[in-house]
Structure 1
Amino acid sequence: MARPPQQTGFQPLDREGLVQRVATLLTKAIVTGQLAPGARLSESVVARELGVSRAPVREAARLLENSGLVTYYANRGFFVRETSAEALNDLYELRMVIEIAAARRVIRLGLDETVDKLAAQIAELHRVADQRADMLTQVEADMQFHRLLCAGSGNPKFLHVFEQIAAETEFSIMVIGRLYDDAHKIAETHEPILDAIRRGDAEAAEAALRYHIGEAQELVTRQFRDLEAARRPT
């Protein structure tokens, strides 16, 4: 007896911005665990459930491959990437380099509009904490602060690289389940970064970013190593 086709719960889409919209849906499915690490990304299943052809699904999968969320194997297709503690450690090192450079540029150029946007995003982080929002909403609000820093630096290359690694960063945090017990702690850890940028103190901004990103790096990689150890056969 034939097995029923795999179901993922996707809803049909219209044609506007199709590839990017498919990529956004797939990214959310991976980040939230709807598509688990190591799972095959079936183009035919996704296309059927979204009501599109396989071509935009394939293009979207290529975008996810560029962002580090999926891997392509010849003659087998796309699979959700299974990351490692070492790979995530490298990822956070890259973030640190980019964001420190972005902060220094904001200070050097006196980009007050960026400072205002960062302050507004910290307020949004506190609002999300007050509402006891789900983990994905918290993580997205967190990453938006860092996106605004890179975008507001005036160097589009910083934002380009950040966008390539943002989804993988969100994915890593969602896999381990949390960073802090108190959601307000997430907001508070961004405040020293903003304070240093507002004062025009590049050294203090770098130190604050090194502490903030480094703390997340240590928490994520430690918990990923614990997960890896738990999965090893005894």
Structure 2
Amino acid sequence: MSTRSKPLFERLDRAGLVQHVVRLITDAILQGRLRPGDRLTESGIARDLGLSRAPVREAARLLENRGLVVSQPNRGFFVREVTAEAIDSLYELRICIECAAVARLVAVGPEPALPGLRARIDEMHRLAEAEDPLAQIEADMAFHRLICEHSGNPRFVTVFDQIADETQLGLMLIGRLYDDPLRMAETHEPVIAAIAAHDAEAATAALEYHIGTARRIVTDIFRKLKEDSPA
């Protein structure tokens, strides 16, 4: 029996129910209100939102496709436990997609993308000073999504959106990627400099190094967490 003193979620209007539920559960996971291993209690969430269980169940299935939750037979849906192996494969996919996207972005002309990319870096600098790592992670992901969006190939955006939440979950669980919060903003500078210079080769190399460095840091942290955890 639930012992919560107040609802986890606020009630919703009927329009766009499933996507609303998806967004609310996603936010709860990325903000740490639902932790890895927690069960998504369909009846409890439906009661909080004033809904039937059907849209909650459909939302859970969509979240499973995004890699945020997993289903267990006869038990329901649970927030996904993040492993070093899953994170490593996720970043490997990101390198493939985003390097192709940035090369295409330079080829089609980067000028429309540059103001938005610079604005995201400025936002990361501001959020570093504000000590807001979660918002900084969101700005980081927005920077990378803009590269896919302005590449001219909408399939890059589709795939990026499918894995973005899972990436954010991994970063949220470790709290901060770099000891110096300004480093997150600074590591994007070589990428945008190469894009602005219309140098596709340099942009690809800079982005591959940038994502590859994050890949090593995050997977090493998760491996250490596994080693330090009780058997």
Q: Shorter chain as normaliser: what TM range?
A: over 0.9
Q: Counterparts of 1:29 and 1:143 in 2: how far apart (Å)?
A: 18
CA distance in 2, matches of 1:220, 1:8: 33
Q: Which letter maps to 1:150?
A: C
Match of 2:182 in 1: 184
AA matched with 1:151: E
Aligned equivalent of 1:110: 109
Match of 1:165 in 2: 163
Q: How much does 1:88 deviate?
A: 0.5
TM-score (norm 1): 0.93
Compared CA separation, residues 205 and 47, structure 1 to 2 (3 A):
same
Alpha-carbon distance between aligned partners in 2 of 1:45 and 1:138, rounded to the nearest angstrom: 31
Cα deviation, residue 232, structure 1: 3.6
The correspondence of residues 125-164 of structure 1 with structure 2, limited to 5 A, is 125-132=124-131, 134-164=132-162
Percent of residue pairs bearing the same amino acid type: 56
Tell me the alpha carbon deviations over residues 120-176 of structure 1, each in whole angstroms, 9 at most, x when there is no partner: 2112212222333x2211111111100111111111110111111100100001111
Per the normalisation by structure 2, the TM-score is: 0.94
Contact 2:110 2:196 in 1 (8 A): no
In the alignment, structure 1 residue 69 sits paired with structure 2 residue 78: no
Root-mean-square deviation (Å): 1.5
Question: Could you say if the C-alpha distance between residues 203 and 109 of structure 1 is closer, same or farther in structure 2, counting changes exceeding 3 Å?
Answer: same
Q: Tell me the number of residue pairs that the alignment of Structure 1 and Structure 2 aligns.
A: 230
Matched, 1:84 2:101: no
Partner residue of 1:15? Answer: 14
Contact 2:46 2:56 in 1 (8 A): yes
Q: Which range is displaced more, 109-118 or 155-164?
A: 109-118
- In the aligned structure 2, how far is the partner of 1:183 from the partner of 1:5? 37
Residue 194 of structure 2 corresponds to which residue in structure 1? 196
Equivalent-residue separation in structure 2 for 1:183 and 1:14 (angstroms): 39
More divergent stretch after superposition (142-151 vs 7-16) = 7-16
Instruction: Give me the whole-angstrom Cα distance separating, in 1, the residues matched to 2:30 and 2:113.
Output: 28
* Aligned match of 2:40: 41
Shifted more, 214-223 versus 25-34: the winner is: 25-34
Amino acid at match of 2:67: G
Report deviation, 1:5: 5.2
User: Partner of 1:112: helix, strand, or coil?
Assistant: coil
Unaligned runs of 5+ in 1: none
Aligned counterpart, 1:100: 99
Task: Please give the secondary structure, in 2, of the residue aligned with 1:78.
Answer: strand
